[in-house]
Amino acid sequence: MSENEICKTFQIFALRDYLKENDTITKMELIRILNENAPKDESNRFQQLTITKKKLQEYFPPFYTRSQMEKVLF
């Protein structure tokens, strides 16, 4: 929760609904639920991020093609 700052009521309800069906929750599931139910800031909806090819290739094996990298990212 500290990573996502303040939780809104509908995020808490989404967590409660999840926990009604599941006994436990992992950190990744918690983050996913909070993010999926986070308030949408329409002014930042279409932000663009630019990463250099050299920087991006630091995180992938040298044999990965561009399409393989895109598949992993998306």
Does residue 2 sit within a domain? Answer: no
Domain that holds residue 28: 9-40+48-73
- For the segment 33-40, the average pLDDT, to the nearest whole number, is 81
The total domain count for the chain is: 1
Model pLDDT, residue 46: 59
Model pLDDT, residue 37: 84
- For the segment 52-67, the average pLDDT, to the nearest whole number, is 89
CA–CA distance, 13 with 63 (Å, rounded to integer): 44
Give the global pTM. Answer: 0.47
Distance of alpha carbon 40 from the chain centroid? 14
Does residue 57 sit within a domain? Answer: yes
Angstrom distances, CA of residue 73 to CA of 10, 16, 41: 28, 30, 22
Does residue 1 sit within a domain? Answer: no
Q: Which helix (H) or strand (E) holds 26?
A: none
Higher per-residue pLDDT: 11 or 41: 11
What's the token pair of residue 32? 């996913």
Model pLDDT, residue 40: 72
Is pLDDT at 54 greater than 70 in this prediction?
Answer: yes
